[in-house]
């Protein structure tokens, strides 16, 4: 994503100020990356599509973004007579747990492993709707897994991680808002589309409804798991008959390609310290005993991005859609907005008409969110939609739809005015146009709404100092 828009040539003082902006907003970019990457779980979150459902649903009938009407947030999910949203969600989570327990045992048989007793106890708790017990069991299993855990725990953990994510989303979200959000995402997909989720809501809610609803079952993946061998194995087990999945060789090649590239960029920075650094902020690359070592979320997501590109290359005729928590910039060139998410490898491209449609979508969505008294400032729905709006604004900016990007950034900020990822992205955009007078009130408002957030206070102080200079 292009964070800065080149300005007109000016005085030496102008150049000096632009340098200060670049330095300041590089720090902001790091915070954006850290915020985005730390939000979702890193891996182990695919889904299976082998079971049917008798749970009451409305089907996937949301008006598509590509059609003439803009979908509304409210009443996307029409409840059957006499059934509450809470009952629908409770039934779906229980059904999902039953389905995933079956998948767990099939995977264990396939791998010739014995299912640990703790795993079945976890599924008992989720199926019974006992969130507190399910949470405690999952945390205990993770602790054992990463200390003295068995091979079975390591190989089978992806099934638990996915089920826990679904149960956690159902626990955190008001039921009707959860159903409407999932419907808005799934209803934007065309037949046979593969859906790739990013943050927890954007992954686990569609996973739950996709698994337990009538109609087509989409392949659902996560952008955060391709660098994890256990997750890749799980995807292969679930989807090998529907998708050309990643192999062990693909994974090894992706890692090696990234390491070679990282080493080359590190050597550049060491040889030319006065040039622009090629190692990205937050990317920890070093050489120890003549071997390249990498760590950190930025490095992991760079590998995820490479492997995701490999997956798409192996499936040239498959349509992909993504709700990303971390920007995969390599996908932007052929991406277009698709309701609240983005379609990848679109043949028609991002036209001016589509850019305007995207702004219209978010105008309608933000108005509904802000006018609904049940969707408060701290509502998970505001969190989810605000982040998606910011992602589409970043796409529009990358494709040089500057006016449309600004409108969408503004609406994302109105939906979620104290979210660091949104604030820093919006401020970066404004700073790139030397619009300090617009950026400062934006950050001051965020700091007032979140007085304990040191990032906002530091950014506000730096903006004010830069303006004085």
- Ordered per-residue pLDDT tens for the chain, 469 residues: 333 222 333 333 333 333 333 334 434 443 443 333 334 454 543 333 333 333 333 333 333 333 333 444 555 677 778 899 999 999 999 999 999 999 999 999 999 999 999 999 999 999 999 999 999 999 999 888 766 657 777 889 999 999 999 999 999 999 999 999 999 999 999 999 999 999 899 999 999 999 999 888 999 999 999 999 889 999 999 999 999 999 999 999 999 999 999 999 999 999 999 999 999 888 899 888 888 888 888 999 999 999 999 999 999 999 999 999 889 999 999 999 999 999 999 989 999 999 999 999 999 999 999 999 999 888 999 999 999 999 999 999 999 999 999 999 999 999 999 999 999 999 999 998 999 999 999 999 999 999 999 999 999 999 998 888 7
Structural domain of 407: 12-38+327-468
Do 187 and 93 lie in one domain? The reply is: yes
Q: Is residue 6 part of a domain?
A: no
Do 182 and 269 lie in one domain? The reply is: no
Asked whether 26 and 144 are in contact (CB, 8 A), the reply is no
Reported residue count of the chain is 469
Return the closest-CA partner of residue 424 out of 96, 31, 83: 31
Do 398 and 460 lie in one domain? The reply is: yes
Do 174 and 224 lie in one domain? The reply is: yes
As a whole number of angstroms, the distance between CA 401 and CA 355 comes to 7
φ, ψ of residue 397 in degrees (nearest 5) = -65, -40
Q: Which CATH number fits the domain that encloses residue 414?
A: 1.25.40.10
Do 253 and 233 lie in one domain? The reply is: no
Q: Is residue 380 part of a domain?
A: yes
Kindly give, in sequence order, each residue whose CB lies less than 8 Å from that of residue 447, ignoring residues fewer than 6 positions away.
Answer: 453, 456, 457, 460
Do 375 and 444 lie in one domain? The reply is: yes
Do 306 and 347 lie in one domain? The reply is: no
Q: Is residue 60 part of a domain?
A: no
Q: Is residue 79 part of a domain?
A: no
Q: Is residue 354 part of a domain?
A: yes
Given 239, 261, 285, the domain boundary residue is 239
Do 346 and 458 lie in one domain? The reply is: yes
Q: Is residue 118 part of a domain?
A: yes
How many whole angstroms from its chain centre is CA 372? 25
Given 211, 239, 267, the domain boundary residue is 239
Given 239, 272, 291, the domain boundary residue is 239
As a whole number of angstroms, the distance between CA 181 and CA 178 comes to 5
Q: How many helices (H) and strands (E) does the chain have?
A: 16, 7
* Three-state secondary structure string covering the chain: CCCCCCCCCCCHHHHHHHHHHHHHHHHHHHHHHHHHHHCCCCCCCCCCCCCCCCCCCCCCCCCCCCCCCCCCCCCCCCCCCCCCHHHHHHHHHHHHHHHHHHHHHHHHHHHCCCCCHHHHHHHHHHHCCCHHHHHHHHHHHHHHHCCCCCHHHHHHHHHHHHHHHHHHHHHHCCHHHHHHHHHHHHCCCCCCCEEEECCHHHHHHHHHHHHHCCCCCCCEEECCCCCCHHHHHHHHHHHCCCCCCCCHHHHHHHHHHHHHHHHHHHHHHHHCCCCCCCCCCCCEEEEECCEEEEECHHHHHHHHHHHHHHHHHHCCCCCEEEECCCCCHHHHHHCEEECCEEEECCCCCCCHHHHHHHHHHHHHHHHHHHHCCCCCCCCHHHHHHHHHHHHHHHHHHHCCCHHHHHHHHHHHHHHCCCCHHHHHHHHHHHHHCCCHHHHHHHHHHHHHHCCCCHHHHHHHHHHHHHHHC
Do 454 and 417 lie in one domain? The reply is: yes
- If one counts every other C-beta atom within 10 angstroms of the C-beta of residue 342, the result is 26
- If one counts every other C-beta atom within 10 angstroms of the C-beta of residue 29, the result is 18
Do 438 and 387 lie in one domain? The reply is: yes
Q: Is residue 67 part of a domain?
A: no
Number of domains in the chain: 3
pLDDT digits (tens, 9 = 90+) for 409-466: 999 999 999 999 999 999 999 998 999 999 999 999 999 999 999 999 999 999 998 8
Q: Is residue 1 part of a domain?
A: no
Do 26 and 136 lie in one domain? The reply is: no
Give helix 420-432 / helix 402-415 axis angle, nearest 10°: 150
Do 266 and 225 lie in one domain? The reply is: no
- If one counts every other C-beta atom within 10 angstroms of the C-beta of residue 134, the result is 26
């Amino acid at each position: 994503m292009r964070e800065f828009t080149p300005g007109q040539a000016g005085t030496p003082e102008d150049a000096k100020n632009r340098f200060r902006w670049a330095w300041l907003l590089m720090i902001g970019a790091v915070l954006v990356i850290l915020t985005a990457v730390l939000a979702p779980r890193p891996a182990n979150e695919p889904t299976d599509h082998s079971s049917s459902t008798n749970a009451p649903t409305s089907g996937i009938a949301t008006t598509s973004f590509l059609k003439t009407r803009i979908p509304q947030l409210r009443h996307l999910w029409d409840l059957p007579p006499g059934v509450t949203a809470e009952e629908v969600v409770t039934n779906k989570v229980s059904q999902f747990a039953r389905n995933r327990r079956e998948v767990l045992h099939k995977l264990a048989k396939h791998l010739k492993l014995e299912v640990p007793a703790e795993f079945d106890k976890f599924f008992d708790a989720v199926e019974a709707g006992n969130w507190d017990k399910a949470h405690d069991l999952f945390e205990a299993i993770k602790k054992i897994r990463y200390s003295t855990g068995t091979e079975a725990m390591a190989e089978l953990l992806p099934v638990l991680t996915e089920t826990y994510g679904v149960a956690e989303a159902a626990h955190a979200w008001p039921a009707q808002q959860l159903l409407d959000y999932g419907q808005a995402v799934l209803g934007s997909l065309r037949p046979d589309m593969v859906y790739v989720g990013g943050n927890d809501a954007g992954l686990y809610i569609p996973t739950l409804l996709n698994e337990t609803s009538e109609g087509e079952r989409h392949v659902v993946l996560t952008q955060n798991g391709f660098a994890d061998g256990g997750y890749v194995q799980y995807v292969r087990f679930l989807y090998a008959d529907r998708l050309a999945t990643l192999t062990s060789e693909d994974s090894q090649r992706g890692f090696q390609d990234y390491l070679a590239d990282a080493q080359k960029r590190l050597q550049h920075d060491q040889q030319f310290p006065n040039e622009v650094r090629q190692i990205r902020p937050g990317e920890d690359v070093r050489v120890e005993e003549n071997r390249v070592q990498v760590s950190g979320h930025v490095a992991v997501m760079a590998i995820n991005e490479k492997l995701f590109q490999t997956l798409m290359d192996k499936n040239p005729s498959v349509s992909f859609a993504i709700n990303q928590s971390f920007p995969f910039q390599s996908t932007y060139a052929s991406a277009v907005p698709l309701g609240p998410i983005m379609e990848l490898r679109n043949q028609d491209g991002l036209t001016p008409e589509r850019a305007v449609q995207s702004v219209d979508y978010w105008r309608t969505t933000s108005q509904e969110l802000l006018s609904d008294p049940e969707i408060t400032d701290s509502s998970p729905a505001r969190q989810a939609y605000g982040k998606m709006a910011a992602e589409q604004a970043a796409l529009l900016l990358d494709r040089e739809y500057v006016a449309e990007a600004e409108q969408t950034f503004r609406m994302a900020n109105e939906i979620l005015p104290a979210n660091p990822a949104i604030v820093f992205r919006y401020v970066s955009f404004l700073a790139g146009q030397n619009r300090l007078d617009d950026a400062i009130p934006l950050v001051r408002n965020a700091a007032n709404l979140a007085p304990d957030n040191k990032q906002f206070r530091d950014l506000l102080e730096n903006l004010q100092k830069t303006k004085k200079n």
